Amino acid sequence: MKTIIKSLLIFSSILLIISKLSNAQDERKFVRNGYEAYQNNKFKKAEPEFQKARNLDTTKFVPTYNLANTYYKLKNYDKCEALYKILEETAVTNDQKSKVWFNSANTQAQKAIESLKAKNMQQAIEELTKATDYYKKYMILNPNDVDAKYNYEIANELLKKLKNQNKNNKNNKNNKNNKDNKDKQNKKNDKNNKDKDKKDDKNKQDKKDKKDKQDKQDKKDEKDKNQKNKKNQKGKISDKNAQMLLKIIEKKDKEILKKLKKVKASKRNKKEKDW
């Protein structure tokens, strides 16, 4: 029984070794085919070959690195970035880390260019910031790399310009908002002033109408009063005329009284003669 189990273990180990050898052979074949297509700038043909090689073992650096570089050439920067992040976590040697950081920096720089074309300045600033950070990491391990230094200086200079421009845009936007708010307030004030003027004009007109109405009423009352006075004056004697008339009446009364006295005296005389 022990002999059978031992034989099975040996057989399983042999199968595993054969499988690994077979996978290794397939991987080398896929990598070789992909590399050949890549060298001839046939990146679409290289991509599935590197993908097949990576599918055999996703932890291996070379197939994943080659696939990421192929995506970079195809300008599929999102997939490229995702694979470089995986490689950044799994890279062991300084050489592997340097390759990942340098290519990650270039990828972020290309993404920034795409963002600028799409007029997304904020996104471009974030991507250029990542690019300069990756270049710095790379230059720590490779301080004499002229190309990396050149790329870093260009990316950093562009980053500074975009930050200044973004700051100016924000200031201009704030100034515009302040101006718009001021214009709105001025319009509101103008409207309020116009409304106030209209109200004042209406009040003035109302006062004028009221005054005109009062004047008209006063004139009417005065006219009515005059007409009433005239009417009353038709049957009424003035004070002067009344005094004159009174004198005349008194004079007449005296004359009449005098005549009456003469008549009475005459009657008495007649009576005496008759006696």
Around 35, how many Cα atoms within 13 Å sit in the side-chain half-sphere?
11
Looking at the chain, list the stretches that DSSP marks H as alpha helix, in order from N- to C-terminal side. Answer: 2-39, 43-56, 61-73, 77-90, 94-117, 121-141, 146-234, 239-274
* Of 123, 98, 33, nearest in space to 70 by CA: 33
Each of the 275 residues of the chain gets a pLDDT tens digit; together they read 555 444 443 433 333 333 344 578 889 999 999 999 999 999 999 999 999 999 999 999 999 999 999 999 999 999 999 999 999 999 999 999 999 999 999 999 999 999 999 999 999 999 999 999 999 999 999 999 999 999 999 999 999 999 999 888 777 776 677 777 777 887 887 777 777 777 777 777 878 777 777 877 777 777 766 666 555 444 444 566 556 656 665 666 666 666 666 655 655 555 444 43
Determine the pLDDT at residue 59. 92
Residue 53 region by backbone torsions, left for phi larger than 0, else alpha for psi between -120 and 50, else beta: alpha
| Residue at 34: amino acid letter | G
- Whole-angstrom CA distances from 67 to 1, 37, 45, 48, 133 are 49, 12, 11, 9, 23
* Measured distance CA(263)–CA(187) in Å, rounded: 108
Domain ranges of the chain: 25-178
* Measured distance CA(257)–CA(90) in Å, rounded: 159
How would you write 254-272 as a 3-class SS string? HHHHHHHHHHHHHHHHHHH
Two tokens at 33?
Answer: 């085919």
Q: Are 90 and 62 in contact (CB under 8 A)?
A: no
* Of 60, 151, 150, 34, nearest in space to 104 by CA: 151
Q: Is the pTM of this model over 0.95?
A: no
CATH of 25-178, one of 3.90.470.10, 3.40.309.10, 1.10.1750.10, 1.25.40.10: 1.25.40.10
